[in-house]
Structure 1
């Protein structure tokens, strides 16, 4: 799966992905992890077998389109940092771990596989933000009853760093293998996890007053039997 990203300098990069890893339960704070576990338990999703947990998803689920098709009305997004290796460097972008919440109650792995993972079209070099990584902020908005509401808002200080997650997945390597993309966990949903067809997200850099942004709309397909 080929994606295209543009850096702040205007460079276009075209990495190819043949592996996609969803790093779940990626919080640094045990209390915050437990909050998210309880948040999901409230909608019937079982506790994880390990923390963090690395889910594997087909790379063809990556998409940079702004209109997606999903089966039924029970899915929702989660804003997450997305990292990958290109040209010997680690790059940072933004993705949504869009997930079927009804299916998630039966199998988290299958629920993640069932939905496309939207990805932004901008990317930063990790080296350019590594020194103040904890200050970066994830935010997301959904549309409810015709109005946009804040759905997620939290600093990356609450999550494990990409280097920590990459090391846990690779057994200690500092970079992901070329062709592998990884999402790096999320911050809690404000008001609880709930379905939404419109999702807007950003990774904000307060020092340089810039952001990676992406939004998408889900067209619902009927569930027939």
Structure 2
């Protein structure tokens, strides 16, 4: 018999429509990252080409949006993440939190691009999912959702800038996850996929920042973190390779 999911409590703050702040704990039981979750399949091609340039092979035989289950221990809101290599990068994403109602956040699916060449699933699990600690209620943005916008920077350089209307609406995302997984009800968090960078190429750096802007209510959700390659603490000549055959 399958064991029940043991929830992990995370603390968030809901930004109300009038600007008031409401502390809101969230009991997380399941987390999924989505890929190619765009309304128009052609809109996902540029990002697919972007990662293909780095040697990543997407499982096109699996219908989009592709679903990557991620261990809930990999979630953080810390201002620093530790990684094992220099070729890791963030991606701005809409984040859905399913609880007594639907909440919206912003975060980053940080990914090891070298590991991604061999396994997209393991590359995502090898780095944290980062989420900002403030949320909106879906009901507060639902009517003007398509006017909201996602953006990100790497070391202050503009990296991504895209309207949320490129992506499947949150309610459709929930339908897809319900159709394709056994996860149901409260306790689920979904990172909803990303979009190509403004240059069409992956970029790397030591500081990643992302935001979700609502021009109608004049507010933003933000997340940001420093990226620290902890292997650099080991002197050259004594570093264990990240992958077999690496020099």
- TM score, norm. by length of structure 2: 0.85
Structure 1: how far apart are the matches of 2:21 and 2:184? 24
What does residue 54 of structure 1 align with?
A: 67
Question: By how many angstroms is 1:176 displaced?
Answer: 5.5
1:92 aligns with 2:104: yes
Which of 201, 206, 214 is the matching residue for 1:197?
206
Cα 1:133–1:108 change in 2 (3 A) is same
Q: How many equivalent pairs are there?
A: 219
Q: Over aligned residues, Cα RMSD in angstroms?
A: 1.7
How far apart, in 2, do the equivalents of 1:205 and 1:172 lie?
30
How far did 1:75 drift? 0.5
Pair 1:150-2:158 in alignment: yes
- Which contiguous aligned blocks of 4+ residues in structure 1 show a shift greater than 6 angstroms? none
Q: Does the Cα contact within 8 Å between 2:154 and 2:204 map onto a contact in 1?
A: no
User: How far is the alpha carbon of 1:177 from its aligned partner?
Assistant: 2.1
Identify unmatched segments of 5+ residues in structure 1.
none
Aligned match of 2:245: none
- The question of whether the paired residues in 2 share the 8 Å contact of 1:81 and 1:185 is answered with yes
**Aligned 1:9-24 pairs, distance under 5 A:** 9-24=20-35
TM-score under structure 1 normalisation? 0.93
Shift of 1:184: 0.9
1:120 aligns to 2:132 (yes or no): yes
Report if the CA contact (8 A) 1:151-1:190 is conserved: yes
Q: CA contact under 8 A between 2:97 and 2:104: conserved in structure 1?
A: yes
2:42 corresponds to:
31
Identify the residue that residue 136 of structure 1 maps to in structure 2: 148
**Whole-Å Cα distance in 1 between the matches of residues 240 and 10 of structure 2?**
32
Contact 1:76/1:197, CA 8 A, preserved across alignment? no
**Shift of residue 178, structure 1, vs aligned partner:** 1.2
1:220 Cα deviation from its structure 2 partner: 0.7
Checking the alignment, whether the CA contact within 8 Å between 1:142 and 1:199 is kept in structure 2 is yes
The answer to whether the Cα contact below 8 Å between 2:76 and 2:128 also exists between their aligned partners in 1 is yes
Are the counterparts in 1 of residues 151 and 160 from structure 2 also a CA contact under 8 Å?
yes
Partners of 2:194 and 2:146 lie apart in 1 by 13
On the 8 A contact 2:44/2:195 being kept in 1, the answer is no
Could you tell me whether the CA contact under 8 Å between 1:57 and 1:112 is conserved in 2? yes
Counterpart in the other structure of 1:71: 84
Q: Deviations over 1:12-41 (max 9, x none)?
A: 001021211001111112221111111111
The Cα shift of 1:171 comes to: 2.0
The answer to whether the 8 Å contact 1:23/1:165 transfers is: no
In structure 1, what is the equivalent of residue 170 of structure 2?
162
CA contact (8 A) 2:154 2:203 kept: no
